[in-house]
Amino acid sequence: MIHEALKRNLQGHGIGRHEKDEIYTLAISDIQTLGVVLGDKPFVMGNEPTLVDATVYAFLANALVTGVDSPLKAEIEKNPVFQAYVDRMTARFLLNKWFIKFFTAHFLMNISSICVIYSDCLQGYDS
């Protein structure tokens, strides 16, 4: 049931209409564009961080710090602009890689536990 709902949501969003390789191709294209937009600026929109930077930082830091390998992570690692950006944001907001790794692992463990509990509760229900 949850799996079907997720598939419907991805289909409705549009990304679920593509094959896995196509999804990576689209994502890599987006990452390459982000690299061009970021360029040599300290932050996405210029000299000061904005809410856009909070989102970009969260995505890039997660990809660079966690141990999940993917074509998308490989593309991010290829461009030194991204590591410099993550380092700059980390220094600016006094975050550290240990905290990011700990928070990400803790968050994923909690989500996994919730999914297991939720899945156990739904066993036997077809609707």
Domains and CATH numbers, the chain: 2-122 (1.20.1050)
Considering the chain, what is the average pLDDT of its residues? Answer: 77
Instruction: Specify the pTM.
Output: 0.65
Q: Which residue has the tokens 């998308």?
A: 72
pLDDT for the residue 86: 93
What is the rounded CA–CA span in Å between residue 114 and residue 120? 10
What are the tens digits of pLDDT across the range 92-122? 886 666 666 666 665 555 544 444 444 444 4
Tell me, letter by letter, the H, E, C secondary structure of 28-82: HHHHHHHHHHHCCCCECCECCCCHHHHHHHHHHHHHHHCCCCCHHHHHHHHCHHH
What are the tens digits of pLDDT across the range 5-32? 656 655 656 666 667 788 889 889 999 9
Q: How far apart are the first and last CA of the chain?
A: 7
Q: Which residue has the tokens 């949501």?
A: 9
